[in-house]
Amino acid sequence: MATPESVLGAGNRILDSLIVTSLSQDLEAYAAEVGRGAWHDGPVERPDDLHVARSAVARLGLVADASTHLTAEVAMHLPFEALTAYKTAVKRFFSTEDWGDADDHALDALVTPHLRSGWFEHDLGAGVRLGHGIRDGRYVIWATGGPPPEPTVFDRAFGGPVRPVQTPHPRKVKFTVGGAPAPGRWYRRGEEVDHPAAAAMLEDPTVTDVMVAGDFVTIGLHRSERWEDRLDDVLARVTELFWDDARPAGSAAARTREALVQEGMSTRVEGARPEDLHLLDSDDPGHRDTLVEALGSADPRARRAAVATLSMSSERPVATAALLTGYHDPALMVRRTALDAAADLEDETYRPLFEAAISDPDPWTRWRAVRAIAELGAAASREPLMFAAVDEEFRVRFEAIAALREIEGE
């Protein structure tokens, strides 16, 4: 005679069977309804491009579609306490983060007790296909296909013939361009440049200076610019202007650029190369000592490099002292560099310097001073600008009159 317990047990087994059958039918109907999925019951090989395809789902904005399938086919059958862990795992799966055997095992332990069988595949679009389900008694998820990711700035930076290299100075990057090591020559924006490629590079208003040597080019950026934003464009321009695939590579025994910098710092300043000084960091105490000493060098190129580099110090007294020293230097190239570097700072502190420079005997210096005043705001320097408006040099008059007209229009 059947007991209530045995009848109830038999009923539960029948109900379980009906649920499993219904679940399989529902899943097949679901796959047919969305028109992009299929339900299988058998082993499926994991694709070789799993890592690339996983990240493609996120990169191409396909996570929502993938989540819709995974919610209906897995999440709905998980107990509430397992949902957070499952969603976290899925979010990590569709990313650039590593996904290894330990992650597979953790996800399997979370899902398999609640998903009886079945393998599901879906076309997510853009050539990406999602597969997941029970395979050989374990839950597995994979993705395959899709376009390759766009090359990043680092892929391009290290994948071409010209390679960027960090220097001690945070606003300067060295680019290796082939050839043999040789002494370099430094060019600053605003000066007369007799090197065609350097002149073309300096047409970019964000580039402050260019060092051209035998096997490398160093580019300095304005302090308002960030290398992470400009590296791509500057690298392309340097490659276009300076790379020569016919150049022989330097020998292995040649001194590296870093070795040259260290050598320049360890020798007497009179023998230091301007290109070495130009690469130093003015906020580094050891570098700063070398640069300050170079302000008294007999070589005007070394003095110019020291003024320009010290002007980039984050400590205003250091920058100001270097700029004022440079502006009173006997060499025109040093005075021009000091004024131009001060103008690049766009700091009200140097307005008196620019107003004084309107009377400088050098036409370029007078023009740069007027331009610097205009960039700071012309109203506070009306009288010096009126003096510049009758300058014998046309471009000085032009710049001054344009600035005065701006005042009248305010």
Residue 277 has what pLDDT?
A: 80
**CA–CA distance, 150 with 155 (Å, rounded to integer):** 9
Residue 180 lies in a domain: yes
Does residue 27 sit in the same domain as residue 130? yes
Does residue 134 sit in the same domain as residue 155? no
Total domains, the chain: 4
Which domain-ending residue is among 303, 322, 341? 341
Instruction: Output the six-digit token pair for 105.
Output: 């095992």
Residue 5 lies in a domain: no
Residue 72 has what pLDDT?
A: 92
Does residue 155 sit in the same domain as residue 171? yes
Q: How many beta carbons lie within 10 A of that of residue 84, not counting itself?
A: 9
Residue 10 has what pLDDT?
A: 47
Token pair 């679009």 in the structure block, residue? 125
Residue 274 has what pLDDT?
A: 65
Does residue 101 sit in the same domain as residue 195? no
Report the CATH number at residue 406. Answer: 1.25.10.10
Instruction: For the chain, 410 residues long, give each residue's pLDDT as a single digit of tens.
Output: 445 444 445 444 443 443 334 444 444 444 444 333 444 444 456 788 888 898 889 888 899 999 999 999 999 999 999 999 999 999 999 987 888 889 999 999 999 999 888 889 999 998 999 999 998 889 999 999 988 777 666 666 666 788 888 776 778 888 988 877 777 788 887 777 889 999 999 999 889 889 898 888 999 898 788 888 888 889 989 999 998 654 444 333 334 444 444 444 444 444 456 667 877 888 888 888 989 999 999 988 889 889 988 998 889 899 999 999 999 999 998 999 999 889 988 899 999 999 999 999 999 999 999 999 999 999 999 999 999 999 999 989 998 999 998 887 65
3-state SS track over 48-62: CCHHHHHHHHHHCCC
Does residue 322 sit in the same domain as residue 364? no
Residue 22 has what pLDDT?
A: 43
Does residue 125 sit in the same domain as residue 31? yes
Does residue 243 sit in the same domain as residue 203? yes
**CA–CA distance, 116 with 295 (Å, rounded to integer):** 80
Residue 252 has what pLDDT?
A: 33
β-strand partners of 122: 37, 130
Residue 408 has what pLDDT?
A: 78
Does residue 132 sit in the same domain as residue 85? yes
Amino acid identity, position 172: K
Which structural domain, as residue segments, surrounds residue 407?
346-410
Report the CATH number at residue 225. Answer: 3.30.1370.70
Which domain-ending residue is among 111, 145, 179? 145
Residue 208 lies in a domain: yes
Does residue 207 sit in the same domain as residue 165? yes
Does residue 90 sit in the same domain as residue 107? yes
Residue 45 has what pLDDT?
A: 67
Do the Cβ atoms of 373 and 351 come closer than 8 Å? yes
CA 56 remoteness from chain centre: 21
Token pair 């039918």 in the structure block, residue? 25
Which domain-ending residue is among 196, 226, 250? 250
Q: Which residues, 6+ apart, have CB-to-CB distance to 404 below 8 Å? A: 378, 382, 385, 386, 389
Residue 317 has what pLDDT?
A: 92
Q: How many beta carbons lie within 10 A of that of residue 349, not counting itself?
A: 12
Strand 207-212 and strand 185-188: the pairing is: antiparallel
Does residue 175 sit in the same domain as residue 206? yes
Instruction: Output the six-digit token pair for 209.
Output: 């200076």
Does residue 203 sit in the same domain as residue 282? no
Residue 16 lies in a domain: no
> What strands, in cross-sheet order, belong to the sheet with 37-40?
37-40, 119-125, 128-135, 138-145
- For residue 266, CA distances in Å to 181, 253, 272, 303, 312 come to 20, 21, 9, 17, 22
Residue 302 lies in a domain: yes
β-strand partners of 119: 40, 133
Residue 37 lies in a domain: yes
